[in-house]
Structure 1
């Protein structure tokens, strides 16, 4: 999260732990308190059934999230994250925050964008603008290159999504020419591939499969993520996960394996190469060659992976630009967009920015193939990569004698037949005057706004009768009353004890300490049910380990970690 400082420059705001980045993880602890960020991520290792990560991939889908005995929609989980960020921003700024610019993957569908706006409302925010993430990154880059006249490609590979945008820069204008991507591809897929290999190595060594063991799978993925990060700077790294499961004969078994960068890259290269096709598509849509691109800006944490940077460099014949922070550029760009809205940035810097529709939008029609009538044909009204906001009108004729109603079915996609595209919504327009087939005309207008929200207006030409559809009535969305009830429920649950205590920098767990933090969480919860004869030693080890970590005594922490792990394993 970011804001503009007094000079009109974007600056990141620290969260309640003093960190510049907040993991998008939500957890419910044993006392029924909600956690967001690092404390939730630590809990993921020991209580995956009460924790959710990567909710972005579920946005706009009817896939409920279960946290312990509670059920949430993906929109509600996203709202909890946004509420935590809002409160952190208020704490940092010393005032109330009611409006925000929220970034989304450029390849988010209409339903995903609507769900994101709903999440902002549930979090107590008016979402002034949904900004595509590569566009935000381009803003962060462009603010320091206002005099440049060039084409720029932004390659955005995050934890769960991939986007690419091609922009033209000239005289302070950032004009998005084309976008493409895959909203189901990201660094978590790299982690999953490596975790699967680690599971195979454990089974090979101990003769025990970890498939179906949720706790072990979560620990494997955490270990895989840590190894992936380490391999960005070293050629090989050990992966050690103590007491992962019982091995042959029921004895505790650990995973100990060395992973080389070369092996990891061979596992994920196919996934990385799949990002080349969206780049080529974006360049084709922008009517540019790769030689036309002056700068390649890489953002998103997964863009740090060496094989990603190498393949992008090979594709363009030169190294991507350094100097843009992969994790921070999007937030900084969002702050600039907020400044553009208020006039704070345009007055000082003279920046303008345009964006495009990432998908083709259209309706289902009938057409003639010779003497045969063909149903289910897709008729585009707004082609993909059209500059937004935009309004387009097409006129269609009735297809049957004495037809009195027209069904409008709105689709998104690139297929020539609607069966290959995504249905956004449908409605029926009544009151068509009866006449022979083709005599009556219906004008359909699509209006696609700067946030990627679609309005559809249908007008019967002969009578002027109109019907309007805002494409936001999908089953997984909440109506206004449901949104009000959900907002009140989330507020009650959040206020009942969501905010974890503020940690001192010394006690704050780093991402590499996630396993140790999870061990402390598990040990603390086990205190309540531990036998009386064991409880004093368990409590002593917990306190000693916390003290060692707070002091930064790694030797003592490693020893106490092993003792505590042994004791917990014995307790079962």
Structure 2
């Protein structure tokens, strides 16, 4: 039996969900029995590819063979180097999707050949095309790309079908931020407006804290960590652990042993306390930058803050206390806790998969609409007094138009004897095209020559539910047509390249070790910590001489943190010890 699943392809973690027999969405566990799979890909010393926890563990010790947060590179010409191999961001995302697909097949006991994959609402056309390509390389048919806040709203709305209200979804993930305003009525979720920033997320919070930690290390030891990739990776990992700890405590120690050589060449460690107040000060500007997109979305939806009945926070970074406080101050009331911040997007994607197959609509009577997040248009010449000026942006589809949508505008030739028209397609909100994003361009031949303005060319934009744009032009006097699917950006793999990449990834992935059965979960966190300490203590005697002091130090520090009940420090030390043992083999 073939299944259709919903996938949240996240910056830091990815999840996959499917409907059960009763039509309810459920998250599927990976081969380790976990719901969240780190969006990390690594190449080990034997040339085998890893995805998930093992790759994340490798990131701290072999960053040159590991890649995280590849979602931020999607749709851009930024190749990824893992050891002696080079991949495109699309190929790295394909490896993550392939691992999720195989985990889903293991959990469901059947084939998974199709998926609804979520993307940030503010993803560009190139980023959406790259995501669809990644699905194809992973052996998945991705007929639907679903905006992440829309997916979260679907997960929320399925339990509030009788409500008639406006809802704002604030989605702050590991690497992207989106906000959507929706109207709910009689089982319909109608997206009114979206806005956001596809380069803002919890990773930026980590980086801000890591930079401060690096400055503290330099102040204490007189050594800069600039250019030290291994130290920078460990600092960011320590910053992420501190950020998580500060969601529940007011202060937490950050201890990174043997971070880098000190003044005399002796290994120097970082030991500093981070307070929530310090962390808040470091990220306040980043968090406040999310208020402008909220204002924009409300303005486009023609609503006031008082019109919003519920504010729903999703995305792991929405757990940061400062985020919740600023959103509460903005709306004058506390946000809602109606959905799980990490899981809502994947669950909504599974519901959308159910809507596609008909499994949900019959049971729940729910329908959802979405919008185009950007204005789309073409470059034209405009009259300024008696002169004609080029480089002017002429919108065809305004941002936040309900999709799917098709719009046509007719333009006239601008020169005597003109035989061809160049169509340059842009995305953005600026009046001049130089300030917008060029999506693609092509030339329409066969225009009958005549005086300027006598021949007309009709341009039709069709924007589908996946956020993919088709452009059709027609010479009015002859009926000659030309069509462009905006998918020919240099960042996208061509058909032959996709086929070659699919075959190559299949070969390379086949060399990766896959456990025959899931690893059983520990009986409790305490039992897991005991097992780790026992394994680390036994390993001290056989560890290389230069590693033994660090191994002993970490074991002693972990025992002390557990004895004091300092869960934040214990979790951080646990991760450090696990990484060291992984490196030792």
TM-score, normalised with respect to structure 2: 0.89
Q: Does 1:468 align with 2:480?
A: no
How far has the Cα of 1:554 moved from its partner? Answer: 12
1:186-205 equivalences in 2 (<5 Å): 186-205=201-220
Q: List 4+ stretches of structure 1 deviating above 6 A.
A: 507-510, 552-559
- Are 1:273 and 2:284 an aligned pair? no
Match of 1:488, SS state, is helix
CA contact (8 A) 2:246 2:276 kept: yes
Instruction: State which of 362, 372, 376 in structure 2 corresponds to 1:361.
Output: 376
1:75-102, CA deviations, whole angstroms, 9 ceiling, x for partnerless residues?
A: 0000000000000000000011000000
Matched, 1:348 2:363: yes
**Measured at CA, do residues 508 and 112 of structure 1 come closer, stay the same or move farther in structure 2, by a change above 3 Å?**
farther
Q: Which residue of 2 aligns with 1:60?
A: 75
Q: Deviations over 1:379-409 (max 9, x none)?
A: 0000000000000000000000010000000
Please say if residues 426 and 438 of structure 2, whose CA atoms lie closer than 8 Å, have aligned partners that are also in contact.
yes
Q: Deviations over 1:138-185 (max 9, x none)?
A: 000000000000000000000000000000000000000000000000
Counterpart of 2:522 in structure 1 is 506
Distance change >3 Å, CA 472–CA 508, structure 1 → 2: farther
The 8 Å contact of residues 55 and 78 in structure 1, kept in 2 or not, is answered as: yes
Q: CA deviation at 1:565?
A: 7.5
Q: State how far apart, in whole Å, the 2-side matches of 1:21 and 1:356 are.
A: 29
RMSD of the alignment, in Å? Answer: 2.9
Equivalents in 1 of 2:277, 2:563: separation in Å?
Answer: 33
* 1:134 shift after superposition: 0.2
Does the aligned pair in 1 maintain the 2:376–2:396 contact within 8 Å? yes
Q: How does 1:152-171 map to 2 (within 5 A)?
A: 152-171=167-186
Q: State the distance in 1 between where 2:523 and 2:329 align.
A: 43
Show the counterpart of 1:299. 314
Distance in 1 (alpha carbons) for counterparts of 2:94 and 2:580: 36
In structure 2, do the counterparts of structure 1 residues 418 and 509 end up closer, same or farther at CA, with 3 Å as the change threshold? farther
In the TM superposition, residue 370 of structure 1 has moved relative to its aligned partner by 0.4
| Aligned residues of 1:34 and 1:499 also touching (Cα < 8 A) | no
Q: Count matched residues.
A: 547
Residue 400 of structure 1 aligns to a residue whose secondary structure is coil
Q: Distance in 1 between matches of 2:265 and 2:102?
A: 48
> What residue number does 2:12 align with?
none
Deviation by residue 1:427-449 (Cα, 9 ceiling, x = unmatched): 00000001100000000000000
1: CA distance, partners of 2:523 / 2:377: 54
Q: Is the 8 A contact 1:378 1:415 kept in 2?
A: yes
Match of 1:183 among 176, 182, 198: 198
Alignment partner of 1:18: what SS? coil
Shift of the alpha carbon at 1:505?
A: 2.0
1:479 to 494, 503, 516: 494
TM-superposition CA deviations, 1:7-57 (whole Å, max 9, x none):
101000001100011111111111111111111111111111111111111
> Residues of 1 paired with 2:109 and 2:564: CA distance?
37
Distance of 2:58 and 2:515 partners within structure 1: 13
Partner SS, residue 250 of structure 1 = coil
**Using the alignment, how far apart are the partners of 2:264 and 2:305 within structure 1?**
59
CA distance in structure 1 between the aligned counterparts of 2:186 and 2:455, rounded to whole angstroms: 49
1:151 alignment partner, SS class = strand
Distance 1:197 1:509, change over 3 A: farther
Change (3 A) 1:508 1:495: farther
* Alpha-carbon distance between aligned partners in 1 of 2:21 and 2:564, rounded to the nearest angstrom: 41
Distance across 1 between alignment mates of 2:159 and 2:363:
13
Q: 3-state SS of the aligned residue for 2:312?
A: strand
The aligned runs of 1:216-231 (5 Å cut-off) are 216-231=231-246
- Quote the offset at 1:238 in angstroms: 0.4
CA distance in 2, matches of 1:336, 1:497: 32
* 1:246 CA drift (Å): 1.4
Q: 2:564, 2:265 → 1: CA distance? A: 31
Q: For structure 1, which segment, 406-415 or 498-507, has the greater mean C-alpha deviation from structure 2 after superposition? A: 498-507
Alpha-carbon distance in structure 2 between the residues aligned to 1:37 and 1:461? 55
Q: Counterparts in 2 of 1:484-495, with a 5 A limit?
A: 484-495=499-510
Q: How far did residue 499 of structure 1 move?
A: 3.4
Inter-partner Cα distance in structure 2 for 1:25 and 1:276:
30
Instruction: Tell me by how many angstroms 1:509 deviates.
Output: 10
Contact 1:35–1:499 (CA<8 Å) still a contact in 2? no
Q: What whole-Å deviation, never above 9, does each CA across 1:415-467 have from its counterpart, x for those lacking one?
A: 00000000000000000001100000000000000000000000000000000
Q: Distance in 2 between matches of 1:565 and 1:133?
A: 36
Task: Please state how far the C-alpha of 1:553 moved relative to its aligned partner.
Answer: 11
Q: How far apart, CA to CA, are the structure 2 residues paired with 1:509 and 1:489?
A: 40
Q: How far 1:498 sits from its partner (Å)?
A: 5.0
Tell me the equivalent position of 1:425.
440
2:30 match: secondary structure: coil
Q: TM-score, normalised by structure 1?
A: 0.91
List aligned pairs for 1:413-452, cutoff 5 A.
413-452=428-467
Secondary structure (helix, strand or coil) at the match of 1:487 reads helix
Within 5 Å, give how 1:274-353 maps onto structure 2.
Answer: 274-353=289-368
Report the alpha carbon displacement of residue 479 of structure 1 after superposing the two structures with TM: 1.6
Unaligned runs of 5+ in 1: none
Q: Does 1:7 align with 2:22?
A: yes
Residue 74 (structure 1) aligns with: 89
Match of 2:471 among 445, 450, 456: 456
CA distance, structure 2, for counterparts of residue 499 and residue 281 of structure 1: 47
- 2:312–2:338 Cα contact (<8 Å) kept: no
Distance 2:478 2:286 in 1: 54
Change (3 A) 1:377 1:467: same
Conservation of the 8 A alpha-carbon contact between 1:429 and 1:458: yes
